[in-house]
Amino acid sequence: MNVLKLNLSLAIVVLIMSCNKKSETSTIALHKTNKKNKVEEMAISKKEEIINVALVYLKDGQEEKFEEYKRRGAAILEQYGGKIERIIKPKMLVKGDVELPDEIHFASYPSIEVFNKFNQDEEFMKVRKEFAMPSIKDISIFTSKNTDFKFKKETGDKTKTYGIALVYFKEGEKYRKQFGEYHDEACKIIPEFGTHFERFIAPFESKGRVEKPDEIHRFYFDSPEGMKQMGTDQRMQALFPKRDASLSNLIFFIGEAIL
């Protein structure tokens, strides 16, 4: 009888342990599945994301009106799940031949469908008509998607010095490949000087006087000193001819973040 009770108790313990193990295994499996699904969702989200870049030229004395447009427009955009992610005030045109914009805006949208709905929103169209149109002298807009370039995305702040490059490749796949090789080699060097990447995007639509680039890069430097040191580094100097030989044009702004 005691042996029977002992065997029965052991059987129950084994059963409980098996259930607990199964439950634990199921929890781990579920966690892994959820994690995998989350990663897949993020990948899909990143692929569908739209980034709108605007080079903005303001009329004299209309800065306050344009600030009101930014406040109201951003509030409406947030209702659609989008946001104004970065605004740069250019201080210097390092390379290229364009007029220095007053501001460069980067706005992100979850998808092209959301982008289109936002731009057709009646309230936003009223805000744009009342505040944007009277305050903007000129504007060039590039509607873009993320590129396939894999990089460690980092987020700067208003204390950083920013670089924005509008990249135009020469015609032919070999030049894109050549620029890619330059970029891979440069990316091994520039982190030494406190350089961080925020965006690599490829415009597919544009409007305005500035020609649509093939790619737009946004990055920041921890300090102006680091930026200067990077530009004069012998290894980078040796790579620049390879970069320039692959491009038909390069517009490069240096500025500060106001958002």
CATH code, 104 = 3.30.70.100
Q: For residue 34, is it within any domain?
A: no
Q: Is the pLDDT confidence value at 17 over 60?
A: no
**pLDDT interval class at 34 (50, 70, 90):** low
Could you say which DSSP state residue 99 is in?
Answer: P
Instruction: Give the span between the Cα atoms of 10 and 7, in whole angstroms.
Output: 5
**Average pLDDT across the chain, whole number:** 86
- For 174, the token pair is 């070999």
Q: What domain count does the chain have?
A: 1
Q: For residue 103, is it within any domain?
A: yes
Strand partners, 219: 163, 197
Q: For residue 83, is it within any domain?
A: yes
Instruction: Give the span between the Cα atoms of 182 and 180, in whole angstroms.
Output: 5
Residue 151's φ and ψ, nearest 5 degrees, are -155, 165
Q: Domain range for residue 145?
A: 49-257
Q: Is the pLDDT confidence value at 18 over 60?
A: no
- For 43, the token pair is 């990948």
- For 120, the token pair is 């057709």
- Mean pLDDT, range 6-24, rounded to an integer: 34
SS3 of 213, please? coil
pLDDT of residue 214: 98
Q: For residue 62, is it within any domain?
A: yes
Q: For residue 26, is it within any domain?
A: no
Sign of CA dihedral 13, 19, 25, 30: negative
Q: For residue 12, is it within any domain?
A: no
- Mean pLDDT, range 234-259, rounded to an integer: 96
Q: For residue 41, is it within any domain?
A: no
pTM across the whole model: 0.82
Residue 17's φ and ψ, nearest 5 degrees, are -60, -40
CA angle 63, 79, 35 (to 5 degrees): 125
- Mean pLDDT, range 100-117, rounded to an integer: 98
pLDDT digits (tens, 9 = 90+) for 51-102: 999 999 999 999 999 999 999 999 999 999 999 999 999 999 999 999 999 9
Q: Is the pLDDT confidence value at 6 over 90?
A: no
Q: For residue 230, is it within any domain?
A: yes
pLDDT of residue 47: 84
Residue 23's φ and ψ, nearest 5 degrees, are -65, -40
Percent of the chain clearing pLDDT 70 (strictly above): 83
- Which has the closest alpha carbon to 258: 119, 141, 137, 91? 91
Q: Cα–Cα distances in Å, from 133 out to 53, 62, 97, 130? A: 17, 10, 26, 7
**pLDDT interval class at 41 (50, 70, 90):** very low
Instruction: Give the span between the Cα atoms of 116 and 227, in whole angstroms.
Output: 38
- For 204, the token pair is 């597919």
Sign of CA dihedral 198, 201, 207, 210: positive
